[in-house]
Amino acid sequence: MSDWEPTTRTHGRGLRSDLRRMLTLGDPRRTLYRDAHYFAATVEVDADTMKQWLPRGVRLAEPARADLFTAFFPDCNYGSVYHEAGLFVHIKAGRKTGIHCPWMILDDDVALILGRELLGYPKKLGEIDWNLGGDTISATATRRGSKLITMSGTLGERIAQPPPILGRPHRNVVGLAGLALPRVIAFTPGEQPIEVREVTDFELRLGGSERDPLDQLGLGRVIQARLHRVDLTGGGFLPPIPLWPLSPLYTVTRLRPRVL
Q: Is residue 42 part of a domain?
A: yes
Tell me how crowded residue 52 is: count the other CB atoms within 10 A of its CB. 10
104, β-bridge pairs: 86, 123
Q: Which amino acid is at 89?
A: V
pLDDT of 245: 92
Burial of 31 (0-12, 13-18, 19+ CB in 10 A): middle
Per the domain annotation, does 20 fall within a domain?
A: no
The stretch 73-89 carries a mean pLDDT of 94
Distance between CA atoms of residues 32 and 79, nearest Å: 10
Task: Indicate which CATH number applies to the domain containing 62.
Answer: 2.40.400.10
For 253, the 3-state DSSP assignment is helix
Among 1-5, 33-37, 91-95, 204-208, whose mean pLDDT is lowest? Answer: 1-5
Whether 68 is covered by a domain: the verdict is yes
Considering the domain boundaries, does residue 7 fall inside one?
no
- Do the domain assignments include residue 73? yes
What average pLDDT does the structure give for the chain? Answer: 92
Q: How many domains does the chain have?
A: 1
CB burial of residue 105 (10 Å; 0-12, 13-18, 19+):
buried
Average pLDDT over residues 99-126: 95
Q: What pLDDT is recorded for position 2?
A: 60
Q: For residues 117 and 217, what is the distance between their CA atoms, to the nearest angstrom?
A: 24
- Amino acid present at 133: G
Determine the pLDDT at residue 65.
Answer: 98
Would residue 184 count as lying in a domain?
yes
pLDDT at 1: 61
* Beta strand 127-133 pairing with 123-125: unpaired
CA dist 57 and 247 (Å) reads: 12
Domain of residue 54, residue span:
31-255
Residue 14 belongs to some domain of the structure: no
Q: Can you give the pLDDT at residue 3?
A: 64
Residue 74 belongs to a domain: yes
CA 121 to mean position of chain CA atoms: 7
